[in-house]
Structure 1
Amino acid sequence: MEDFLWELKTERFLNGKLTPEELLAFEQEQINAPELKAYVTLSQELQQALSEDDWLQHKNTSTHYDTVKEWYQNEDVLDFKEKIKQHADEAFVPKKNVFTFRKYWLPIAAAFVALFITIIYQFTAQPTLSQLYADYGTWNDTPSFIVQDENTTNVKAQIELLYKNEKYEACITTAESFLVTSTTDKTNVMIYKGFALVKLNKYSEALTTFKAISESNTIDASKGLWYMALVYLKTEDSENLQKTLKRITAAKTNYQYSKAEELLNVLE
């Protein structure tokens, strides 16, 4: 749900967790969507007006129930309900046994229930996995190749170029040849191979590649977990997605820890 995703982005913005690239994108999104800009401005004013503890209590939870309950008990809303009832009483005063309020109270009550259910749904409905993937599923954070061996650099540069030119089959083939013959760190090349497999919808093979990264002893091992999570998100495998996100959030040093935490909070 777009409104829910806006709240997630706004919270990250207010907490200073957006990267420079994400910040630029979020600012452009506010320009394109004035209602988002209004929401961000209101959130900033609330954050400034409330203490830190109050703000943490006030901010969005996965259910929004307290917010809905507070809204429904608001004096203005209660006053509006009373006025509706008064108008109904006046409109349906018995006249020569033709109209009676008893006949119409059920439709009016049903209308109020429908209104309340609509409000509850707007506040509590969670985005689908496909909607979350549209927001989180990016395969553009490709690694750079900085090595000492000139020949190796050329091969890696070729793999990178093939991927960026959307020649995914060739990228995979070249990457596999490199992985068989090279004795240097293979993680970055494996990442490109996994990305290319995802682009070709070969999700099972991509998971195998990313799992191998996650089980390696390299400094980038946790990247494999994040990319596995994205594949599970893409294929709407909620169970394995949550298991993988929990592994990522087990350590703050893991790659994309903050985003994994956000996703896990939404799903739970």
Structure 2
Amino acid sequence: MRLQYGEDGWDFIDEHKNNDALDALETLLKSKEFQHKKKVIQRAGDLYFKNEKSKGVSNKKPQLYFALAIAAALVLFFGILFKDSGLTSTEVYSNNSNWDELPSLVSRGETNAVLLSKGEDAFTNKDYPLAEARFSAYVDTNKEVSITALLYLGVSQLELENYTSALENFQKIIDSNTLDHSKGYWYKALVYFKKGDKENAIKTLEIIATNPEYYKHSKAKEILEALQ
């Protein structure tokens, strides 16, 4: 199927449909919104040709100019449409803020395990102010870096829109020199997406995408491709 402009306007020419993109384009072009725009352009064209004919002007050049004008209008229409159809920062955040992926803390058997347990309970109940207080107390009273505790603390702060503190704690994970340090990049990207800082979010995802061993490597590449 291809789109061709003829004497009666824009029509579909059936050809072999070899991919889903053509099907999507056909659906779009047959939509009520597009058909309405088509009729508006056609009415304007009919009026234009009528005026030119009354002046005794040959309709060959006006028809060519009109066809070019429609083509330009379509380019603008589709350019705006496809630009607007891209993923937004809010959509990326909503699609990837799955806190069920965070590991459980209850059975870790660490010092101050009560703080971790109470913090996790508060987090599960979405009592993020209490969760932040519990995990912050745990992090402050333990010299050894706990990646999981920092994750819970940072996500609690993210939910509270305390972006600066969340970024600081995720940066601590990156600087921890542990096997899980790359998780910090993923959660920093989520912070940037939630606060609408798409530029820094993309830069952070690019770090993940260029390192195959990093946490959420495939997902980062997928999001970057969708944002293009």
TM-score by length of 2: 0.68
Residues 134-159 of structure 1: CA deviation (Å, up to 9, x unaligned): 3334444222123235x644432211
Structure 2 residue 122 is the aligned partner of structure 1 residue 147: no
Q: Secondary structure at the match of 1:221?
A: coil
Which residue of the other structure, out of 74, 77, 82, is the alignment partner of 2:3?
A: 77
Residues 68-102 of structure 1: CA deviation (Å, up to 9, x unaligned): xxxxxx6x422xx124369989x958877589747
Aligned residue pairs total: 190
Return 5+ residue gaps in structure 1 as ranges: 1-73
Q: Secondary structure at the match of 2:8?
A: helix
Query: Aligned partners of 1:103, 1:224: CA distance in 2, in Å?
Result: 62
Query: Aligned partners of 1:139, 1:238: CA distance in 2, in Å?
Result: 21
Residues 179-218 of structure 1: CA deviation (Å, up to 9, x unaligned): 2223555111111111110111100110001100111122
Aligned to 2:125: 165
The structure richer in helix per residue is 1
Structure 2 residue 126 is the aligned partner of structure 1 residue 202: no
Give RMSD over aligned pairs.
Answer: 3.4
Residues 83-125 of structure 1: CA deviation (Å, up to 9, x unaligned): 4369989x95887758974796455643343233323444455
Q: Does the Cα contact within 8 Å between 2:53 and 2:59 map onto a contact in 1?
A: no
Query: Aligned partners of 1:157, 1:195: CA distance in 2, in Å?
Result: 16
Aligned to 1:27: none
Residues 18-43 of structure 1: CA deviation (Å, up to 9, x unaligned): xxxxxxxxxxxxxxxxxxxxxxxxxx
How far 1:228 moved relative to its partner? 0.4
Aligned to 1:128: 88
Q: Secondary structure at the match of 1:77?
A: strand
Aligned to 1:257: 217
Q: Does the Cα contact within 8 Å between 1:245 and 1:264 map onto a contact in 2?
A: yes
Q: Does the Cα contact within 8 Å between 2:139 and 2:149 map onto a contact in 1?
A: yes
How far 1:164 moved relative to its partner? 1.5
| Amino acid paired to 1:148 | G
Q: Does the Cα contact within 8 Å between 1:92 and 1:99 map onto a contact in 2?
A: no
Which runs of structure 2 are paired with 1:76-115 in the superposition (5 Å)? 76-78=2-4, 81-84=5-8, 101=59, 105=63, 109-115=68-74
Query: Aligned partners of 1:102, 1:116: CA distance in 2, in Å?
Result: 23
Q: Does the Cα contact within 8 Å between 1:210 and 1:224 map onto a contact in 2?
A: yes
Aligned to 2:35: none
Query: Aligned partners of 2:134, 2:53: CA distance in 1, in Å?
Result: 87
| Amino acid paired to 1:177 | A
Query: Aligned partners of 2:53, 2:6: CA distance in 1, in Å?
Result: 23
Return 5+ residue gaps in structure 2 as ranges: 11-41
TM-score by length of 1: 0.59
Query: Aligned partners of 1:92, 1:180: CA distance in 2, in Å?
Result: 78
Structure showing greater Rg:
2
Aligned to 2:38: none
How far 1:223 moved relative to its partner? 0.9
| Amino acid paired to 1:134 | S
Q: Does the Cα contact within 8 Å between 1:195 and 1:206 map onto a contact in 2?
A: yes
Q: Does the Cα contact within 8 Å between 1:187 and 1:220 map onto a contact in 2?
A: yes
Which runs of structure 2 are paired with 1:210-229 in the superposition (5 Å)? 210-229=170-189
How far 1:163 moved relative to its partner? 0.9
Q: Which has the higher contact order (CA 8 A, sep 6+)?
A: 1
Deviates more, 1:97-106 or 1:190-199: 97-106
Aligned to 2:29: none
**Shift in alpha-carbon separation, 1:104–1:219, aligned structure 2, 3 A:** same
